[in-house]
Structure 1
Amino acid sequence: MKDKIIHVLCEGQTEQGFVEEVLRPYLKEQGVKSVKGILITTNKKKNAHGGMLSYNHAVTDIGLLRQTKKDDEYARHIFTTMFDLYALPNDFPGYAVAQRIGNPYARVNSLETDFAKDINDERFIPYIQLHEFESLLFCGIAHIARYYPGCDKRCKQLEKALLDAGGNPELINNGPSTAPSKRIIKAIEGDKKTHYNYNKPVTGKNVTKQIGVETLRAECRHFNEWIEKLINS
């Protein structure tokens, strides 16, 4: 059996931190040899990384990863992504068609299918997070409140948002001011931003670490499907 090495192209530092400190140890427990989080390149000349602005950024980096992984004949290399559906660049394959699909799960599956067709590599497993990484933090709102002492009352807003979404963190997304990350920032910083300054990458990896991947899988259907594919590929 070949040793499996998984390369995860990440949209930002938050996703990269999660991959390296939360997902990696979990997948290694499942028998994966290595998991590598790679931050997407947005401007090679300026050595700028993170904050995907166009589909071309993804295609370029995935192409480079695929070309350079011939170092271990006993390893099976898998390539995947961790991008947000929220604010996904509109030049992604199938974007216009997906926008006309009402069901969020059907919409993201349509995008991932067209993404995979465009890359055209059996080793590639596309993943687009419903609706953004911070959806996962809604699996453990109590951990957010403990991480930022004094925010308990404002975190009640997060509990209400989760309840309004039928208890499904992956369905929390209502727009630029009410997407998961925007809701969390408001709960932590307050309306006048006189409280904490929200540290997105650090909070993301530390809170999801407390929640645990098994809980994330149990409460987030699309996320769980991705993990299943990575383990069973």
Structure 2
Amino acid sequence: MKRIIIVCEGQTEQEFCKDVLQPYFNSKDIYLQYPLIKKSGGGLVSWTALKKQIENHLVQDKEAFVTMFIDYYGIHDRHVFPDWEASKKVADKSQRMSLLETSMHVTIDNSINHRFIPYLQLHEFEGLLFNDIKVFEESFRPDEFLNKPELEQTINANPNPELINDTPQNAPSYRLSRLIKGYNKIVYGSILAESIGLIKMRNKSPRFNNWITILENL
């Protein structure tokens, strides 16, 4: 059985790996591990610290592949990711992610980086949830919607939910907390993701789909 270690930014991503990705990869005879980023308590750390954790996983388990499930939205100048400043000059967000992922890959030790698959979620995990209004209607009572028309408009206006605006006021997680009463990203993120299903998520989110395709074909 193949093994993939997915270094997760937080509990939301970790629950998604456990509840949605693991059952799917089990059917492909692939076992997942999904540790949190160390030294953060949830959230990002500097690239130096994250790189050390990735390399430690690769060295300690010589058969496993290592990838990561972190949000581009959460990366800031202080994290000093490779080619971070250069990436800001790339207007196309998909190309920007590719530049950063390539730069991360080449900084990992050459003897082990063939088992490292860098991945940045654009813009954040919650963007994947803006997939189908019916799923929200089945998951929440009518009185729990604080602004259902805006939620519907956001879904309809974004055929690729990965591209939903990344400003602080319009980031996917902020929108959900603003549009749904008592929204808890750790609890409801996984519930909504399970209800949507991996197939629908992959159909609407090309970068996410490409990552899953790479992993299942290792």
Looking at structure 2, the residues matched to 108 and 93 of structure 1 have their Cα atoms a distance apart, in angstroms, of: 12
Percent of residue pairs bearing the same amino acid type: 35
Instruction: State which of 179, 188, 192 in structure 2 corresponds to 1:187.
Output: 179
Partner of 1:45: none
Partner of 1:228: 213
Partner of 1:193: none
Looking at structure 1, the residues matched to 128 and 166 of structure 2 have their Cα atoms a distance apart, in angstroms, of: 16
Partner of 1:176: 168
Partner of 1:115: 104
Q: After the TM superposition, which of the residue ranges 176-185 and 142-151 deviates more from structure 2? A: 142-151
Instruction: State which of 75, 89, 103 in structure 2 corresponds to 1:88.
Output: 75
Verify the 8 A CA contact 1:162 1:172 in the aligned structure 2.
no
Looking at structure 2, the residues matched to 64 and 141 of structure 1 have their Cα atoms a distance apart, in angstroms, of: 42
Looking at structure 1, the residues matched to 60 and 139 of structure 2 have their Cα atoms a distance apart, in angstroms, of: 40
SS of aligned partner of 1:86: helix
Looking at structure 1, the residues matched to 126 and 194 of structure 2 have their Cα atoms a distance apart, in angstroms, of: 13
Q: After the TM superposition, which of the residue ranges 59-68 and 114-123 deviates more from structure 2? A: 59-68
Q: Structure 1 residues 174 and 50 mapped into 2: Cα distance closer, same or farther (>3 Å)?
A: closer
Mapping 1:22-61, distance limit 5 Å: 22-32=20-30, 34-42=31-39, 49-61=41-53
Deviation at 1:226, TM superposition (A): 0.2
Alignment gaps of 5+ in structure 2: none
SS of aligned partner of 1:49: coil
Looking at structure 1, the residues matched to 203 and 153 of structure 2 have their Cα atoms a distance apart, in angstroms, of: 20
Looking at structure 1, the residues matched to 214 and 152 of structure 2 have their Cα atoms a distance apart, in angstroms, of: 30
TM-score of the two chains, using structure 1 as the length reference: 0.85
Verify the 8 A CA contact 1:5 1:77 in the aligned structure 2.
yes
Alignment gaps of 5+ in structure 1: 43-47, 71-75, 190-196
Verify the 8 A CA contact 1:140 1:207 in the aligned structure 2.
no
SS of aligned partner of 2:130: helix
Partner of 2:91: 102
Report the residue type matching 1:110 in the other structure: L
Report the residue type matching 1:17 in the other structure: E
Verify the 8 A CA contact 1:145 1:155 in the aligned structure 2.
no
TM-score of the two chains, using structure 2 as the length reference: 0.91
Deviation readout 1:123-147 (Å, 9 max, x if unpaired) = 0001100110001111133323332
Structural RMSD (CA)? 1.6
Looking at structure 2, the residues matched to 28 and 4 of structure 1 have their Cα atoms a distance apart, in angstroms, of: 10
Report the residue type matching 2:107 in the other structure: D
Deviation at 1:88, TM superposition (A): 1.2
More helix by share: 2
Looking at structure 2, the residues matched to 152 and 198 of structure 1 have their Cα atoms a distance apart, in angstroms, of: 10
Partner of 1:137: 129
Looking at structure 2, the residues matched to 135 and 100 of structure 1 have their Cα atoms a distance apart, in angstroms, of: 23
Looking at structure 2, the residues matched to 101 and 218 of structure 1 have their Cα atoms a distance apart, in angstroms, of: 25
Verify the 8 A CA contact 1:30 1:231 in the aligned structure 2.
yes
